[in-house]
Amino acid sequence: MHPQTDIVVKIATDLWYRQISRASTLFDEYTDEQLAAEIAPGKNSGVYLLGHLTAVHDALFPLLGIGDKLYPELFDVFVKSPDKSDLPKPATADLRKYWKEVTKTLNDKIATLSFNQWMERHTSISEADFENEPQRNRLSVLLSRVAHLTEHIGQLLWIKK
Amino acid sequence: MHPQTDIVVKIATDLWYRQISRASTLFDEYTDEQLAAEIAPGKNSGVYLLGHLTAVHDALFPLLGIGDKLYPELFDVFVKSPDKSDLPKPATADLRKYWKEVTKTLNDKIATLSFNQWMERHTSISEADFENEPQRNRLSVLLSRVAHLTEHIGQLLWIKK
């Protein structure tokens, strides 16, 4: 009735959805001004974290082999470069839209994957290496990204009201 | 050769060990003075987070049904109460020792559990409820605690050097 492998998928994806929902709630609650400020002196701004998380999650499409990035231009600005780079950043209103769109599209894809599909390799490991390291699969990518996301949620929680 | 269920256990426990190791490295790097200060103005101190994470992880022994708490007295001070409570806190040197001991004992236990044991219920859900919600098992507790831990790692990373 409840195959154990389906339960594993439910646990992992529910954890992802829950943390995504927490981040979305935080982004929605904060004003553009609150997001623009450094969260702590000398640390990242909320707007950088919004762009950063959007870009990292957008990169999950090719990494999981489930599609192409929606906003590939974000990666240089928000992943390869730090907050105080000279690169021009999109308007906060646009970043809010990109976050919602990446989240919705990604969650829809994530919901379709079966346990066996989660156990398939991700695209940054070769077939040969995957034979020896079968744990480097899509599921491990998802759970690593949960950890990455919650790390930044801990910081976003500290934006002052 | 690699049963898929063993791979699931490896992914989940490796993620736990990796994040525990990151937190341990941070606690070791910071001086008592650095830990004593608020990480950001008005926010938790590092020493509170050290006690908080130790107490939450100590509570995993009874919750996972793998033993008793080593330091039950920490829960009131570091989980039920906020940083600025009037409750006396242990010395930082003692908290560092408690963190190491809880981590070592917990990790040793975690390493012994099989996939089937991870799929068993945790102790805060009844057998009757577990029949309907089989995802409320030990594995989901471990992964939730990974998310909780990384949330606070995100904050600990901001302690100034």
Residue B161 has pLDDT above 70, yes or no: no
Residue A19 to residue B147, Cβ atoms within 8 A: yes
Task: Name residue A137's beta-bridge partners.
Answer: A121
The pTM assigned to this predicted structure is 0.97
Residue A134 to residue B11, Cβ atoms within 8 A: no
Q: Please name the residue of chain B whose CA is at the shortest distance from the CA of residue A135.
A: B7
How far apart CA B139 and CA B122 sit, in angstroms, is 9
ipTM (interface predicted TM): 0.96
Burial of A79 (0-12, 13-18, 19+ CB in 10 A): middle
Q: At what angle do helices A138-156 and A4-29 cross, to 10 degrees?
A: 30
Write the CA distances from B31 to A160, B28, B91, B93, integer angstroms.
27, 8, 13, 10
The confidence score (pLDDT) of residue A1 equals: 42
The confidence score (pLDDT) of residue B150 equals: 98
A15 touches chain B (CB under 8 A): yes
Q: What number of CA atoms fall less than 13 Å from residue A49's CA on the CB side?
A: 30
Shortest CA gap B8–chain A (Å) = 8
Taking contacts as CB-CB distances below 8 angstroms, the residues of chain B near A42 are 160
Residue found by looking up tokens 């981040």 in the block? A23
pLDDT digits (tens, 9 = 90+) for B1-45: 469 999 999 999 999 999 999 999 999 999 999 999 999 999 999
pLDDT digits (tens, 9 = 90+) for B89-145: 999 999 999 999 999 999 999 999 999 999 999 999 999 999 999 999 999 999 999
What is the residue-level pLDDT of chain A in tens, covering all 161 positions? 469 999 999 999 999 999 999 999 999 999 999 999 999 999 999 999 999 999 999 999 999 999 999 999 999 999 999 999 999 999 999 999 999 999 999 999 999 999 999 999 999 999 999 999 999 999 999 999 999 999 999 999 999 76
The confidence score (pLDDT) of residue A160 equals: 75
Shortest CA gap A18–chain B (Å) = 10
